[in-house]
Amino acid sequence: MEEVSFYLLECNKTAQMASDRVNDFDNEINRAEQQIIILNCHIKAGSDYLLQHKSELEEQFFKRFAQKINGLITSKTSMEMTVEQIKIHRVMIIETLDRFYEATTVFYPLWRQTIQSIQDTQVVSSASFTELNERRQSLINALQINTPNTAN
């Protein structure tokens, strides 16, 4: 039991780091969304300028300026895709943390209580422990089967 408690303590530290990472993601998402708004303003202003002054501008300048606007559009699109990926990762971390907290607050205490009650009520044979361990392993396997694939 002490070994399990040690691992739970280590897992709680990792869960806290993951929770901190969610906060970092929130900050990055906000910063990126502000930059997207700024890029939209620059793209709109540049496009409006080209439309209003198309006849007055040299052809070479017009082409270069249009290319710069296209570059801004590409950057904005890339940033929007990055924000969506960060949001997906954020959700995956939150779901994993929820599963971890559920396991540590529901399954682990239940497992511990079961072991304690077995120890208190009878002399436990190695066969009983083997059966209990098999049930625990089947629970772990069931949880792993229901866990979304996070390897990308």
Distance CA 7, CA 13 (A): 10
Contact (Cβ atoms closer than 8 angstroms) between residue 36 and residue 79:
yes
Interatomic CA distance for residues 152 and 136, integer angstroms? 28
Round to whole Å and give the CA distance between 102 and 108: 9
Q: Residue 1: is its pLDDT beyond 70?
A: no
Tell me what pLDDT residue 137 has.
Answer: 83
DSSP string covering 7-37: HHHHHHHHHHHHHHHHHHHHHHHHHHHHHHH
- pLDDT tens figures, 24-75: 999 999 999 999 999 999 999 999 999 998 888 888 999 999 999 999 999 9
Q: How far apart are CA 13 and CA 21, in angstroms?
A: 12
Q: Is residue 143 over pLDDT 80?
A: no
What DSSP state is assigned to residue 75?
H
In single-letter form, the type of residue at position 48 comes to D
Res 97: pLDDT: 92
Domain boundaries, the chain: 2-146
For residue range 82-133, what is the model confidence (pLDDT) as tens digits? 999 999 999 999 999 998 888 888 888 888 888 777 777 766 566 777 887 8
Q: How many Cα atoms sit within 13 Å of 81 on the Cβ side?
A: 6
Fold of 2-146: Helix Hairpins (1.10.287)
Predicted local confidence at residue 148, as pLDDT? 57
Of residues 141 and 42, more confidently modeled:
42
